[in-house]
Structure 1
Amino acid sequence: MSEGDIAEPFRGSLAPSSGHVLPFPTPRKVSFDRLELQTILNLYGRKVADGEWRDYAIDFLTDRAVFSIFRRTSEMPLYRIEKAPKLARKQGAYSVIVSSGLILKRGHELAAVLRVLDKPLKIVS
């Protein structure tokens, strides 16, 4: 078989002594676990039912996981809920960030951080 006949891209390196293919280590991606995602989606569902939010996107990157919340699909996200494990021992792994980049709340517990988005509106007289 020639090099042009290979159907899949080559994903490995040859071990110098044995000639066997060793796989490259795939970089781990940060993700939300089931409980975290359930907590976020519960809040999201309430806000959709109230008509405040309409769409979301989830990104799993090598350094953080991001849940972006949109009022309309074509806009910038209103809020980003981020999980950054590198910050877990410092300020906390979870943060809520507005579209301007301002961090509204950061902490070690997701439910406590999300409360900043779940506050009811008050009537000012």
Structure 2
Amino acid sequence: MENSPVALCFYDSNFDSVFFNKRAKEAGFDISALSVSSEGKPFIESVGSEETKRYFRSFIVDFQRDGSHSGRAKYSVDITDSERAKFELKKSRNKIKKLHEIALKLSKADSEERVYDLIV
């Protein structure tokens, strides 16, 4: 589990103790990572500075012992590569769209001067 893309955080209120696995520590999770209210739904979060930012799909579960709240667990899957790929795909699509628009204008140009104006 230490080499997995999963960050695990546990808080046990009975012993006031916190556990972070290696991935959670490397990503920079801290105790505030367990204070998020997700209403039982997965959510995407980013951790770290702009240069070292990692993206996680996280899920928080509260657990009880003997009917009272006794802790919280957070399960976070590293989706950084996927998020970066989505960003690069979006950039590529925007470039292709712009090139297509220019190609349409060039195909409608009625003179060499107009083609020159569009290119320059």
Pick the structure with more strand per residue. 2
TM-score interval, normalised by the smaller of the two chains: under 0.3
TM (normalized to structure 1)?
A: 0.24
Greater radius of gyration (CA): 2
TM-score (norm 2): 0.25
More helix by share: 2
Structure with greater contact order relative to length (CA < 8 Å, sep ≥ 6): 2
